[in-house]
Structure 1
Amino acid sequence: MTLVDTPVKTRKINVVVLVTGILYLGIAIWFWRYHLMPGDSSSRLANAYYTIFSRDPHLAAIGFVWNPLPSLLLIPFLPLTLVFPALTQESLLAVLASAALMTATVGLFHSVIQKIVANRALQIALTAAFALHPMTLLYAGNGMSEACFLFTLMLAVRSLHLWLVEKRVEQLVPLGLALALSYGARYEALAPLAAVTALVAAITWWRSGRNGALARTDAVIVGLPGLLAVALWALASKIIVGQWFATFSSQYGNSAQVSTSAADIGSVTGDDLAGRLSYWGHQMTGLAPFAAILLIAALAFAWHRRDLAILAPITVLGSVLAFDAMAFLSGTSFGWLRFHIAVVPLAVLLAAHLIADARQRFVTAASLVLVLAAFPTMFSILSDSNLSREEAQWVTESGRFNTSDLHRINTQVASDLDAMNLPDGAVLTDVAYAFGVVLASDNPDQFVITPDRDFAAAVADPTAHHIQYLLLSADGSADAVRLARYGPTPVPLDNATPYRDAQGGVEWFLVKTPF
């Protein structure tokens, strides 16, 4: 079986990309049409938006709490919002980007499957098992960073697969670049960056007859781009915001959010190791119920046939899963279901290797059954809002209502502010929470926002900076504007206009200054 992409293979990939692209576009339009975009996707879009459309546009406005790649990819398309305002005001651009990235991910996935399995029908079936998995479908259309992260991981899997099979050192260059890109998407990329570098060093040392110098050289080729990505991003963060790794040290970062929500998280996932382990096991069983069996069987047959290529998906995707599992079990993660999405492509790739190495009809049939078993178990997980806490916002009727209602409130706040015809810099707000309002506004220049270089001074003395209104989140634990004005005490209603959701809960306060 050749590893060269023939014209037939290329045409098949094009067909797969076209079909999945149409499907994912439809899902993205569904998320947009019913205003179901999660806050994470809109906030990533907003981070890009501030770099061009704000009263203080600059590239550093993209922020340093979250990795920049999902936002950076959107910046070239932002000028189109002048013609199609819905691209930003309704977060349409975010869902279109995730649909495009997941489509590209499926194309890469199919190209790897073609290099493992020769039978064309099996290639299509295995690709469909990944492309049509409910988690793949959801995260293809909702605008979150999973599509971007999976795309970079599959780039790494493909390059590592080629290097393991063809033994060509030039494949290490795109492998290193893919790992660096993956760090631009998510912090979990630290795991495959370390794991792949170690693997390449070990295999080169073994293949070269224990040549340590050659092993170190290959490790540098693979690891240096990612190491530079980590170091340069940390250095830029330190220079601009004074923190090396803001996601761990910022009041807006993941560590602070998990700490603040620890009691709520523990009430669902369990507050001890045994409880978290049980919760994690149920999630993994829903995503890929027989992944462990596939792993053991695929490794056994690969060992028998000396098939090193199986190490590509295990090292890249498996290290991400191990990282997320350790983070959750140690109590430093929310334990969202999406954090384990890498098991979906991993299980299918393990099945592909098992089919290719076993070359037995029974094993082929059994492998397909084990992979496809994820569909009924996944639907079961999605019906349990405790195990799929985020996904319940889109797959349950009450979740969809609440998510779309939040969009309605944000749009109403923005509309009310726009109707006042306020001057630039008249509304002070913390966009860690108010990003949806700023995106929905026709006049983003009216806001003084967190990335603005005079934000801290405006928070300290709103009157001196000609602030006319404070827009405060009702329950944002780290809302800098609300904490500076009222501290931890509730916002008094005598000088504030509340904006309520459909159940009567307050989402926003608009406070007139002077107080």
Structure 2
Amino acid sequence: MNLGIGFIFTDSLSRVAAVSGVLLSRDPHLAAIGFVFTPLTAFAQLPLGFLGHWWPELLRWNLTAVAMSAPFMAGTVIQVRGIARDRGCSTVLVVVLTALFALNPMIVMYAANGMSEAPFLFFVCWAVRRLIRWIRSDGVHDLITAGLALALAYLTRYDAIAPMFVAGALVGLISLLRYRPTAQPARGDSWWAAAIDVALVVAPGVAAFVAWSLTSWLITGTAFQQFSSVYGNSAILEQAGGNTTTAVERALFSLSEMAVLAPALPVLLLAAAILAIRRRDAEILVPVALFGSVLGTQSLLYLMDSTFPFLRFYITIIPLAFVLVVLLAPSRAPVISHRPGHAAPPPRPIPPNPGPSPLVALAVSMLVGSTAITTVAMGNARLAALEHSIASAIVPGRQDPAELAILRTFGAERRIAEYLDALNLPDGSVLLDTVEGFAVVTASNNPKQFVITSDTDFTKILDDPAGHGVQYILAVPNTKRGIADAVNRRYPTMFETGSGGVGALVLEMRNDGGTEPEMWRLYRVTGQLTPGG
């Protein structure tokens, strides 16, 4: 998908650019990983990114990102399989569910594109599995592992803060119910026991939140760059002109996104809830609470016009549907815990396998139908704004011009990088802001030739490019996302006039990739630039 078709997701390649800044830039340092997004997605690429010294194609074609996302998504598949095995599902059901989940087109695409969905799904599914085990084992190890998984999920995506605190509330409630006033220990001790359980599952995430926010504040002066920076989502939406849809339309859109990813969910949820009540089985609360909190957070953010209409934000509904099918089957296996708690049930004989369940078989067939609906929906531009373009590369006869243009994304940036590489420039010769120019940096064989936003001396060089040896400035239109470009903020007429003619135009490259910016201009610095000019 990345190297053969050339279909590379923007956010994915921007993380690769952060890896390049940390390892390969003229000013390599760990803080170059950036603070607009949490760090784990880029941090996991650092070992392979180091090979970019000798193999630039790893960065140019987004392959370090793929080498990150594919194992994480494989781990997600293993967690879904593990939930079914922990339940004692039959081998046939485990194999069928595992294969269906692994072959879901959204799971395949987000395993292959280097985005944050793969590690995020892995950590949330890991937490779900461990909390389901804890309900049956009361084991401290399961609580600790769930807490660590949620902390790592937060270091992958900010919206993990929702399942983190929902998990804490759920654990606290279940712990209190396990120690009723008439039971031992005394009621005061039951509150203390519940508080310890909550701390085990929440404390790692709180520590991650504090550590990341504090680090961002110490280095950038802002604790939450995602919400206050000109590079954050809210700022990007404002630069794009804002959302013109109504709140009702946004709510319906969120529902439609969830409907095409898991159309069988209402039926599965109802059936699983009825069986859980009959069996007095609280395990259903875990996936509904954790996955549901992510879905609710994304829907609320979009309703508040604080995020984008992207299908990927609702991907957690897919594992939710699969886990609900697992919970339709009766529990037939004990949970093995090294430290079972007081509430762990005593060992009991494993009930005989009753054979195939018509209800479970019907649920699996519904998952097959859901996968087919998801596959069709991913080719719809309105429902799948990011994913639909690949259809023109794999569906015979489709060849949609707009989709083919998106498949050429970053082609112009690669040509600019080739032009600059051919000049054999010394370090620090080309000034650009990576808000738009990140793909030029990742495509280059010589990242050290660039002065980029994460360099510690970027602001000083931006004030006096000629005095610091800068020979070229790469400019983008001062519109839309280009408003946030540091060059445009310092020299507003750079793109139009070369900042009053001080820059000489040497290259103009139209973006044929169907994305922003529409045009690139490379200026050779011929004199002293005046800030604001």
Would you say same fold, with TM above 0.5? yes
Q: Is the 8 A contact 2:143 2:200 kept in 1?
A: yes
2:318 counterpart letter in structure 1: V
The residue number in structure 2 matching 1:141 is 112
Residue deviations 1:358-378 (CA, integer Å, cap 9, x gap): 988331122112222212221
1:447–1:137 Cα change, 3 Å: same
Could you tell me how far apart the structure 1 residues matched to 2:525 and 2:490 are?
Answer: 14
2:212 is aligned with 1:241: no
The residue number in structure 1 matching 2:378 is 382
Q: Is the 8 A contact 1:234 1:245 kept in 2?
A: yes
Q: Is the 8 A contact 1:45 1:71 kept in 2?
A: yes
* Alpha-carbon distance, 1:399 to partner: 5.4
1:500 counterpart letter in structure 2: R
Secondary structure in structure 1 of the residue aligned to 2:23: coil
2:489 is aligned with 1:483: yes
1:178–1:502 Cα change, 3 Å: closer
| TM norm structure 2 | 0.86
Could you tell me how far apart the structure 2 residues matched to 1:135 and 1:391 are?
Answer: 9
Q: Count how many residue pairs are aligned between Structure 1 and Structure 2.
A: 480
Could you tell me how far apart the structure 2 residues matched to 1:113 and 1:297 are?
Answer: 17
Please point out which of 89, 99, 102 is paired with 2:70. 99
2:145 is aligned with 1:193: no
Residue deviations 1:257-291 (CA, integer Å, cap 9, x gap): 1222354x43xxxx212111221122111100121
Please point out which of 431, 440, 443 is paired with 1:440. 443
The residue number in structure 1 matching 2:183 is none
The residue number in structure 1 matching 2:530 is none
Runs of 5+ consecutive residues of structure 2 not aligned to the other structure: 181-186, 333-353, 393-398, 528-533
Could you tell me how far apart the structure 1 residues matched to 2:17 and 2:224 are?
Answer: 21
The residue number in structure 2 matching 1:161 is 132
2:138 counterpart letter in structure 1: K
The residue number in structure 1 matching 2:351 is none
Residue deviations 1:383-437 (CA, integer Å, cap 9, x gap): 2201110112323344553234233211110111111121211111011211111
Q: Is the 8 A contact 1:38 1:403 kept in 2?
A: no
* Alpha-carbon distance, 1:170 to partner: 2.2
2:304 is aligned with 1:330: yes
The residue number in structure 1 matching 2:195 is 216
Q: Is the 8 A contact 1:392 1:399 kept in 2?
A: no
Could you tell me how far apart the structure 2 residues matched to 1:382 and 1:160 are?
Answer: 32
Secondary structure in structure 1 of the residue aligned to 2:520: strand
Secondary structure in structure 2 of the residue aligned to 1:451: coil
The residue number in structure 1 matching 2:416 is 413
* Alpha-carbon distance, 1:223 to partner: 0.6
Q: Is the 8 A contact 1:157 1:313 kept in 2?
A: yes
Q: Is the 8 A contact 1:285 1:377 kept in 2?
A: no
* Alpha-carbon distance, 1:357 to partner: 6.8
Secondary structure in structure 1 of the residue aligned to 2:270: helix
Secondary structure in structure 2 of the residue aligned to 1:510: strand
1:102 counterpart letter in structure 2: M
Q: Is the 8 A contact 1:117 1:353 kept in 2?
A: no
Secondary structure in structure 2 of the residue aligned to 1:185: coil
1:502–1:231 Cα change, 3 Å: closer
Secondary structure in structure 2 of the residue aligned to 1:385: coil
Could you tell me how far apart the structure 2 residues matched to 1:204 and 1:503 are?
Answer: 54
1:273–1:199 Cα change, 3 Å: same
Greater helix content: 1
The residue number in structure 2 matching 1:284 is 258
> Higher mean Cα deviation, 106-115 or 84-93?
84-93
Residue deviations 1:71-111 (CA, integer Å, cap 9, x gap): 11011122222343211122212112211211121112111
| TM norm structure 1 | 0.89
Could you tell me how far apart the structure 2 residues matched to 1:331 and 1:117 are?
Answer: 43
The residue number in structure 2 matching 1:254 is 233
Secondary structure in structure 2 of the residue aligned to 1:319: helix
> Higher mean Cα deviation, 159-168 or 470-479?
470-479
Secondary structure in structure 2 of the residue aligned to 1:46: helix
Could you tell me how far apart the structure 2 residues matched to 1:238 and 1:40 are?
Answer: 23
* Alpha-carbon distance, 1:235 to partner: 0.4
1:341–1:303 Cα change, 3 Å: same
Could you tell me how far apart the structure 1 residues matched to 2:403 and 2:483 are?
Answer: 24
Fraction of identical pairs, as percent:
36
* Alpha-carbon distance, 1:490 to partner: 5.6
The residue number in structure 1 matching 2:96 is 125
* Alpha-carbon distance, 1:194 to partner: 0.6
Secondary structure in structure 1 of the residue aligned to 2:291: helix
Q: Is the 8 A contact 1:36 1:394 kept in 2?
A: yes
1:502–1:249 Cα change, 3 Å: closer
Q: Is the 8 A contact 1:129 1:348 kept in 2?
A: no
Matches within 5 A, 1:168-179: 168-179=139-150
Could you tell me how far apart the structure 1 residues matched to 2:53 and 2:214 are?
Answer: 34
Please point out which of 202, 206, 209 is paired with 2:177. 206
Secondary structure in structure 2 of the residue aligned to 1:470: strand
Matches within 5 A, 1:451-466: 451-466=454-469
1:249 counterpart letter in structure 2: S
* Alpha-carbon distance, 1:252 to partner: 0.3
The residue number in structure 2 matching 1:26 is none
The residue number in structure 2 matching 1:72 is 43
* Alpha-carbon distance, 1:221 to partner: 1.1
* Alpha-carbon distance, 1:226 to partner: 0.2
Could you tell me how far apart the structure 1 residues matched to 2:270 and 2:82 are?
Answer: 24
1:300 counterpart letter in structure 2: I
